Amino acid sequence: MDNCIFCKILHDEIPAQKIYEDSEVIAFNDINPAAPVHFLIIPKIHVASLMECGKTHQQILGKMLLLAPTIAKEQGCTDGFRTIINTGRVGGQEVFHLHIHIIGSKNRLPAMIHKD
C-alpha cells in the first residue's frame, strides 16, 4: 500500500528499530512507547485491521500471536506482558496496517480500561 507508514517501514523506506524479521512478519519498537518495552508485530502483507481479516489470514494471525511471547521474552518480559490490537475507530486504531502491540514493564501495568 502506497501511503501506509508500516508498509514503508517493512520496505525500509522509513527507519524503525526492527527487533525481529522473517519472510512473513516484522517486529519493531513503537516510536512512542507506553512502557519500557513496547513493540509492534506486523504482517508483511498489507491488511488494514482485524476487521478486514478472514480465513486466509488464519495462519499469519496465529503466527503473530505465537511470536509475541518469544520476542517479548527476548526483550526482557520474563514475567508477562500485555498484548493489544486496536481495531477501527472505536478501538482507537491510528495506523491502518494490522499490528499487535506488546507492552511490558518491570511492574504490573495499569488497568487498561477504566470503568466509571
- List the catalytic residues: 99
| Secondary structure (H, E, C), the chain | CCCCHHHHHHCCCCCCCEEEECCCEEEEECCCCCCCEEEEEEECCCCCCHHHCCHHHHHHHHHHHHHHHHHHHHCCCCCCCEEECCCHHHHCCCCCCCCEEEEECCCCCCCCCCCC
Q: Is residue 97 a contact point for Zn ion (CB under 5 A)?
A: yes
Q: Which of 1, 24, 31, 109 binds ligand AMP (CB under 6 A)?
A: 31
Work out what residue 39 binds among ligand AMP, Zn ion, none; the CB cut-off runs from 5 to 8 Å by kind.
none
* Residue span 58-87 as binding mask against ligand AMP, x where in contact by CB under 6 A, dash where not: ----------------------------x-
Residue 99 CB, shortest distance to ligand AMP, in Å, is 6
Binding region for ligand AMP (CB under 6 A): 5, 16, 28, 30-32, 86, 92-95
